[in-house]
Amino acid sequence: MGRAHEGVAFASDTDVSQRLELTMPDDLRRDRHDAQRRRTDNLTRAAAAERWSTDDAYWQANYHDRPYTAADLTYDAYRPAYRYGCEASFVYHPLPWDEEVDFELSLGWPQARGDSKLSWEHARDAVREGYEKARG
């Protein structure tokens, strides 16, 4: 069962990681710098979950200052996007955000967003910032 925060239920860390893995097509290939395109081992999932626990608090305190957020939406609308970006940064490590990463993550957003009503066009910037912050 998922966790709850102020009356809102969230998927468990395992559910989100598994959803992230399912949303990224295996047939899309990269060979930039001989980097492994996808890392989905248990160590990667654990590192992403640990990083997310820190980033979640950061984004909750700072999301409202971002130029892409709508004043009438709460953090809960953007949380899945930040988390998706954070976890994707571990899956696609060491690749920077670029058009290919953007494209691949756009394909997975309908599944990764959970209950979020944000379209990819409205979630993209939050996903990108979650990705880039987690990369350090």
C-alpha–C-alpha distance, residues 24 and 45, integer Å: 15
Identify whether 94 is preceded by a cis peptide bond (ω within 30 of 0).
yes
The residue assigned the tokens 């993209």 is 124
Residue 50, pLDDT score: 85
Number of domains in the chain: 1
Q: What is the pTM of this model?
A: 0.71
Residue 83 included in any domain: yes
CA within 13 Å, CB half, 122: 13
44 or 28, which is more confident? 44
Q: Which domain, by its residues, includes 118?
A: 15-23+35-135
Backbone angles phi, psi at 27, to 5 degrees: -80, -5
Per-residue pLDDT band at 9 (split at 50, 70, 90): very low
Mean pLDDT for 112-132 is 96
Q: What is the pLDDT of residues 33-42, one digit of tens each?
A: 334 444 555 6
Q: What percent of the chain has pLDDT over 70?
A: 68
Residue 6 included in any domain: no
Mean pLDDT for 94-115 is 94
Of 103, 100, 97, 104, nearest to 129 (Cα)?
97
Residue 77 included in any domain: yes
